[in-house]
Each structure stands twice: as structure tokens, then as C-alpha cells.
Amino acid sequence: MDGRVTISELEKVYGEGAERTKAIEDLSFEVEGGEFVSVVGPSGCGKSTLLYLIAGFLDVTSGTIAVDGEPIDGPGTDRGVVFQDYALFPWRTVFENVTYGLEEDGVPKEERQSIAQKYIDLVDLDGFEDKYPKELSGGMKQRVGIARTLAYEPKILLMDEPFGALDQPLREALQDQLRDIWDDLGKTIVFITHDVEEAVYLSERVLIMTRHPGTKKTVTEVGLDRSGTREDIVTSDEFADYKNTVWKSLHEETQTEVKL
């Protein structure tokens, strides 16, 4: 499984004429197969637009996005998206939500049940298969969303601020769980966040985007020693150094934005 994402001279423009707005310009970047990359930037810099372009939900204006060397031409099962707002079907149980994509793809019943249970167990929701979304906490709903996306086994996991609406303790718990899932499955992850600490804690690299229109500003390689506990990691000097590096680069863009 590769899952390499190559972005070349990407531009995205919304609207026509006087209503024309450039969201992204001249963005080139590559995410290696199996790599965890976070994207941060000022509000309105095109982070989510970039994610939806990779997902194939939006058409590029110019430039290319390729997966393993093949230009994308729309959504595909090689890419899975986890949204901030969960996007679960309220009339379907946890199990039925996780099997939904498999049903749409015509996977036989026994096979999809086995696959769904595998990923329900992976996100620690064993015993909640028959619950409906209204009976779940926010964190549990997001875990259902992750399990549903993993169930059709995409090469690439695209995550749009998936923990942004959660309180800090729950957010941290799901961050740790996501790292465990990534360690287990080795999928490519592109993770959108506005939280610098989250980006540094989770990622191998952090892409910092400029203010609108968004393009690559800097890329920070994160070489943390992750062998200890969460407390060991986030209180280390190296974590503080990486966090400060990303924060300074991002702060330069937000300060520029405020002055204009």
C-alpha cells in the first residue's frame, strides 16, 4: 500500500468575473505513502479546500493532484474523509453506519459484517454496535466516523479538524487513539487543524500555509521521541522547540492578516 499524494502547482479559484476568489495558488507539496502530515494556517487560507480537492469533492482550477502517480478525477475509495461534524446517519445504528459504504459497494453481507466489527473493535466501540448516534457522546460519534471511513480500507485518510468540537481531555484521548491506529495500519494521513500543539503531537511533518490565498509557507519536520507517555512527550524540550517553530511561522501570517 503506497498512498503517496503529489500536489503540483495547484490553484483553486471560486466564482467568475468580479466574484472571482482565489483560495489556493501555486501550491506544490508531496505526502509520502504512510506518512502523517498536518496542515495548519490562518483562518480562510484554504486548508479545508485543499483537503476537499485531494478527496476529489472539488475540481482543481489548474495544476494537478495525483495519488501514486495517477491524477485524481473525482472521489475514490482510495481516499476516505473524516469530517468534524461526524456526518452520521441518525436512523442507522453504529454497526449500520459503519457498514454503509460497504453496502453501497455491494460487499456481501457476511464479509461486510466481519469488516465492520474489525474496525468497531479497533476504535474501542465493542458493545455499542446497536446504539444510535443520539445515544453516543461526541467522541464516540467521531470514532464511529473513523471506523466507517476505515471500513472500506482507503490508502489515504483525510481528516478535517475531526477533534475540533471536543473538549480537551476527550480530544487528547482521541489523538492518542488515532496515533495508535496509524501505527497499526500505516495509512497516509492528511490532517487539517488550527491547533499547533495537536499538529506537532500527531505528525511527522507540519505544512504551514500562508494567509489567503493559501500556498506553502514552511514545512516543519517533527522528529519527536514518542517512546514515552503523552506527558513525557508534551513536557519535553524538543516538543516545545517544534511547537515554537510552527507557532512562529503561523503567527507571522496571522499578524500580517491583522495589519491589513
Domains of the chain: 1-78+155-259 (3.40.50.300), 85-153 (no CATH)
String of DSSP letters for 192-211: E-S-HHHHHHH-SEEEEEPS
CB atoms within 10 A of CB 225: 10
Is residue 110 classed exposed, middle or buried when 0-12, 13-18 and 19+ CB atoms within 10 A define those classes?
A: exposed
Residue pair 242/40 in contact (Cβ under 8 Å)? The answer is: no
Per-residue pLDDT of the chain (260 residues; tens, 9 = 90+): 689 999 999 999 998 877 789 999 999 999 999 999 999 999 889 999 999 999 999 999 999 999 999 999 899 989 999 988 888 999 999 999 999 989 888 899 999 999 999 999 999 999 999 999 999 999 999 999 999 999 989 999 999 999 987 888 889 999 999 999 999 999 999 999 999 999 999 999 999 999 989 999 999 999 999 988 999 999 999 999 999 999 999 988 877 554 44
Which pLDDT score, from 0 to 100, does residue 55 have?
A: 96
Handedness of CA 225, 164, 76, 144 (dihedral sign): positive
Give the separation between CA 36 and CA 44, rounded to whole angstroms. 23
Give the separation between CA 14 and CA 214, rounded to whole angstroms. 13
Distances (CA, A) of 233 to 52, 74, 174, 207, 240: 32, 39, 16, 21, 9
Which pLDDT score, from 0 to 100, does residue 239 have?
A: 96
Which pLDDT score, from 0 to 100, does residue 258 have?
A: 46
Give the separation between CA 127 and CA 70, rounded to whole angstroms. 40
Give the separation between CA 249 and CA 210, rounded to whole angstroms. 9
Which pLDDT score, from 0 to 100, does residue 256 have?
A: 55
Give the separation between CA 259 and CA 10, rounded to whole angstroms. 27
